[in-house]
Copies of this chain bind each other. A is one copy, B any other.
Amino acid sequence: MSGGWLAVAGLGPGDAALVTPEVSEALDQATDVIGYIPYVARVAPQPGLRLHASDNRVEIDRAGHALRLAAEGARVVVVSSGDPGVFAMAAAVFEALEAGPPAWRDLDIRVLPGITAMLAASARAGAPLGHDFCAINLSDNLKPWPLIARRLALAAEADFAIAFYNPRSRARPDTLDAAFAILRAACGDDRPVLFARAVTTAEESLRIVSLSEAQGAMADMRTMVIVGSSRTRLIARDGAPILYTPRSA
């Protein structure tokens, strides 16, 4: 093995001040960095560090590539935005590991957590996830829409605050509107909805509307959407309002 290892690391939402020292140290020690193009672009080039940027939707190929390199003795960091364990590369790496050669199971593999998008978005707006909540990936690339629809209805019935990952893409322009329709039927029109785009980057924008006003077109691939529970409140003030869910509910 000659010292190869694989770290699946979270780069956080965008701001370098939200990258943990643990992740920075792994990148300093790496020989190879692997990931989706815009995430690899966030890693500073260094002499002797190989950067392998690949397109979206090739997660399993990328995971297999990383495992092969580590098995050959490389020190590999697979980078994800946010946290690698939340709708990101860690699950893909373990899928590839389970399907791959038995020897891969002996590799030194670590997952290095990061600030996932819903926590960054929540912090910018206040504390909408301050009480029980759920996180749902709205992409139907990997699961059927009826399952998503059923899960949404149950989440509303349970009165969770709901964080939507991958709310909308060019290939799926309508899923977020369909989700809002399900929630309006279950919760009424009054829930606050946060659209938090490109949080902690120079392009950051926040918008809070009621569920009745919420439209899919208010989100894109860089947007995190959080729908409040029945207890979520807005505190009005001169600046942006504060969105939070009290601890008792």
Contacts and interface: CB of A to CB of B under 8 A. Distances in A.
Interface stretch (A19-27, A68-76, A171-179): A19-27
Given A22-B15, A105-B238, A158-B154, A91 B133 contact: no
Interface residues of A, number: 74
A42 interface: no
Interface in A1-34: 12, 15-22, 25
Given A134-B132, A158-B158, A119 B83 contact: yes
Interface stretch (A47-55, A106-114, A205-213): A106-114
A56 B1 CA distance: 48
How many copies make up the complex? 2
A137 interface: yes
Given A132-B151, A134-B158, 8 more contacts: A17-B20, A18-B22, A87-B130, A91-B130, A95-B246, A111-B127, A133-B134, A158-B158
